[in-house]
Structure 1
Amino acid sequence: MSWKTAYRSIYYQDAPEPEDPQLAFAETALLVIDIQNTYLDRPDPAGLSDAERARYDAWTPFHERMRDMVVPRTRDLLERFRKHGIECVFARIATHTRDGRERSLSQKMPGWNNLLLPKDDWPSQLVDPLQPTGDEICVIKTTDSALTGTNLRLMLNNMGIRNVVCCGIFTDQCVSSTVRSLADESFNVIVVEDCCAAGSDELHHKELEIINMIYCHVMSSAELKAIMGID
């Protein structure tokens, strides 16, 4: 099954197959979202309680997907985009203040989302294989969406970008929020399925089904490279 027929919700079961997108290099940017140290860091399982070990095990498929697929394939895309002079842009969750008082409500909610990530601390940094190089732009966001929480929309428009290729985590949270914001601003959006991950495969695939065909087109990195002629 190709990207033209995959991830179709009930709304789009009978929709015609889309045409290949026209992704002119000068009008296209790769956006890497929130692949930060805090999300890939893991404790030593030997010292965990039973409840902590259960949570550890529940997150193991996510970490395996990140290690074996998302990080290496996103790095491969970055290398190919850079080789062809295509813009590479990054976004990360972080706070400008030490206590995070400027965060949006969604990033202050009790529980898993309530992470305090001062911008200069190691947990908030992008992982080493996916660091910006040269003068590549990295925005710091205090909301889920990389557009709502920054001046990224203005910068993309100023650079003449019309098409945004999205990679990152988490598919059902910051990736989805960013994709919807980009679509609302009339950018053409591609989500690279194998360069994204959610807390579970079920959440990942369901969210792609929800956003596909209305806010973006979902495809694999191999399909994207073939369409752009950078494979």
Structure 2
Amino acid sequence: MKPALLCIDLQYLDAARGCGVFADPGYSAFGKEGEEYYFARLEKQVLPNVQKLQALFRDKGLEVAHIRVMSQTEDGRDRTYWHKKLGLHCPPGSQEAEFIEPVAPRGDDLVINKTAASPFGNSDIHTLLRRLGIAQLYCCGVFTDVAVESTIRAAADFGYCPMLIEDATASASDTVQAECVNRLDGRFCEVVRTPSLQEDLEQHIRSVREKTGYW
């Protein structure tokens, strides 16, 4: 199973202080305490780990895919019902649609635009991954219990083998994070952590080469 790294929703909409859904500090759905927890985890743990993961996958010649919320139209009429209901609007060229710099696409990375929590069913991700021969999806990003969970559940239903990188995802609290991981682990995905991922990838690549003679 050829792997790829999916970096989910690491954009100004929901991964930058004072922007997007956090434009009014303390008034987001997380509340002030949840917001402080979220950004502390994001800045101290998640983004550094995602940077390491991106560098690792690029070094191994593996695909790095950046998934973001962005409509095709300026007025957002192509958005899904729930994004309209929630007021999530990221038109092309808007700040909210831009990736945050520390983990933004580099070189020939893939970029996938979506208009729902999961990209499956409202983007060309399935066709693209199949064309590239990718079956194993290492998932990182935000929010763990929303876009990351939705992507993992959908990917499992579409026949992929998802992997949740627990220490490279974030949500509103330790409790929410743990509950989400417990819901997914062993049912829709396997859970891994950044420190062990390099060894796992090395073993995976060796196994594929031994069985097929190529990578």
Decide: shared fold, TM above 0.5. yes
Distance 2:77 2:43 in 1: 33
Higher-Rg member (1/2): 1
1:29 partnered with 2:4:
yes
- Asked if residue 149 in structure 1 is aligned to residue 122 in structure 2, the reply is yes
What secondary structure, in the 3-state scheme, does the structure 1 residue paired with 2:13 have?
Answer: helix
| Equivalent position to 1:86, from 62, 66, 75 | 62
Q: State the Cα distance separating 1:97 from its structure 2 match.
A: 1.6
Identity of aligned residues (%): 27
- Matches of 2:168 and 2:128, distance apart in 1: 24
Is the contact between residue 4 and residue 136 of structure 2 (CA under 8 Å) also seen in structure 1? yes
Please give the TM-score of this superposition, normalised by the length of structure 1: 0.79
Matched, 1:123 2:96: yes
Q: Distance in 2 between matches of 1:90 and 1:40?
A: 14
Q: 1:119 Cα shift?
A: 2.4
In structure 1, C-alpha distance between the alignment counterparts of 2:26 and 2:169, rounded to whole Å: 27
For the Cα contact (< 8 Å) 1:35–1:92, is it kept in 2? yes
Question: Structure 1 28/201 Cα, relative in aligned 2: closer, same or farther at 3 Å?
Answer: same
Shift of 1:50: 10
Q: 1:116-135 deviations in whole A, cap 9, x for unaligned?
A: 11121112111111111222
Contact 1:106 1:144 in 2 (8 A): no
CA deviation vs aligned residue, 1:88-130 (integer Å, no higher than 9, x gap): 1110001122221211112122xxx422111211121111111
Q: Which runs of 5+ in 2 are unaligned?
A: 204-215
Report the alpha carbon displacement of residue 199 of structure 1 after superposing the two structures with TM: 2.1
4+ aligned runs moved over 4 Å, structure 1: 49-54
**Farther-moved stretch of structure 1 (94-103 vs 83-92):** 94-103
* Residues 31 and 90, structure 1, Cα contact 8 Å, conserved in 2: yes
SS at 1:124 equivalent: coil
Instruction: Report the counterpart of residue 40 of structure 1 in structure 2.
Output: 15
Shift of 1:51: 6.9
What stretches of structure 1 of length at least 5 have no aligned partner?
A: 1-23
In structure 2, the partner of 1:59 is: 35
Is the alpha carbon distance of 1:128 and 1:51 closer, same or farther for their aligned partners in structure 2, counting shifts above 3 Å? closer
Say whether 1:225 aligns with 2:207. Answer: no
Q: 2:134 aligns to what SS in structure 1?
A: coil
**Contact 2:6–2:64 (CA<8 Å) still a contact in 1?**
yes
1:52 deviates by 4.6
Deviation, 1:202, is: 1.4
Query: 1:101 and 1:90 mapped to 2: Cα distance?
Result: 23
The total of aligned residue pairs comes to 198
Matching residue of 2:210: none
Matched, 1:160 2:133: yes
Equivalences for residues 75-224 of structure 1 within 5 A: 75-109=51-85, 113-224=86-197
- Mapped to 2, the partners of 1:164 and 1:70 lie a distance apart of 18
Question: Secondary structure, in 3 states, of the residue corresponding to 1:195?
Answer: strand
Given that 1:61 and 1:200 are in contact with CA atoms closer than 8 Å, whether structure 2 keeps it comes out as yes
Give per-residue Cα distances to partners, 1:17-51, cap 9 Å, x unaligned.
Answer: xxxxxxx6xx110010001112233349xxxx997
Q: Are residues 133 and 50 of structure 1, via their aligned partners in 2, closer, same or farther at CA, if it must alter by over 3 Å?
A: closer
2:208 corresponds to which residue?
A: none
